[in-house]
Amino acid sequence: ADQLVIGTQDLSLTLDTKSGRVINGSFNGTELNLNQEFLYYRGASGNNEVFENRSSGAYIFRPNGTAHPILDGKDSIKFDFVAGDLIDEVHQTWGDFVHQIIRVYKVGVDYAEFDWVVGPLPDKKDPFDGREIINRFTTNLKTDGHFATDSNGRETLHRKLNHRDTWNVSIVEQEAGNYYPITSLLRLTGMPENSDKGVSLAVIPDRAQGGSSLADGQLELMVHRRLFRDDAFGVGEALNETAYGEGLIARGTHYVRAGSSEDKTALGKERVLAQDVLLPVILFFSSGKNYSKEQW
């Protein structure tokens, strides 16, 4: 088949089987043209003597150009598909150092999970001065540069691309100047083309990450970075963490919800989900050998 649909009537994702990528989402009756992709920014390298020559590092985010796809458009993602009564999963391999498990549960929850496993990132032999990996969601929603982020897990703040509320700002570095800290929520609202019904898309990360909406209908969050120069802000080391002799591997999850922008309960549901992610259930294990079913 050209397309693979995982999930149920209430919540599903559609993948293109040739490219292996998500191309559509259906969330409780709201259809959304939704693409999901991993990209990377290249690190900047300089002598740190002047502002314009600052290297990317532990403190500094100033990517060298716009983001590049992990896989070229012609390269397809290798994937496996698992289906069952409770959950459908797609296991994806995006080249050498990015993998993902996409999960759609069939009962009990109203979000999809994007469980990313990133690393080890290329070492110093890499032609670029380090890479910063992002997870980007692209929709056909017209948002005019507007999006929203949480403020340290509390109120939701309105953001606008290349804009500050209290002064006339001139953004010199387009990506860095529009990145915000995302503690628990990144969302946008807009109208799809040829439609008068608004749609909201929200991404809840499982840890604080940097993120933004750098183009209409787009959200991105940074998941991992490895850089090879010190940025002269005091640490005196490159951000080059290793484990078991290789670059660090990071694993985490993005929880994605969407729905009609008329749904006044959406923000509340996103806040509840963020609480569930922040304070998950704790598991304890004991032997069950003393229990027959009757005793249990």
- Which chain residues interact with other proteins by CB under 8 A? 58-59, 80, 82-87, 89, 91, 93, 99, 101, 105, 107-109, 117, 233-237, 239, 241, 243-244, 246, 249, 251, 275-276, 279-291, 293, 295-296
Place of tokens 């304070």: 279
The Cα 16–Cα 3 span in angstroms is: 5
Nearest to 213 by CA among 110, 296, 144, 120: 144
Nearer to other proteins, 101 or 141 (CB): 101
174 burial type by CB count under 10 A (0-12 exposed, 13-18 middle, 19+ buried):
middle
Nearest distance, CB of residue 234 and other proteins, angstroms: 8
Q: How far is the CB of 38 from other proteins (least distance, A)?
A: 14
- Angle among Cα 210, 259, 203 to the nearest 5 degrees reads 15
CB of 43 to other proteins, least distance (A): 15
The answer to whether the beta carbons of residues 219 and 207 sit under 8 Å apart is no
Query: Cβ closer to other proteins: 84 or 127?
Result: 84
Q: Which is nearer to other proteins, 127 or 280 (CB)?
A: 280
Closest contact distance (angstroms) between CB of 288 and other proteins is 4
User: Which residue type does 64 have?
Assistant: N
127 vs 234, beta carbon nearer other proteins? 234
Least Å distance between CB 153 and other proteins?
13
CB of 105 or CB of 128, closer to other proteins: 105
Q: Is the C-alpha dihedral spanning 216, 218, 219, 221 positive or negative?
A: negative
* β-strands 87-93, 199-205 pairing: unpaired
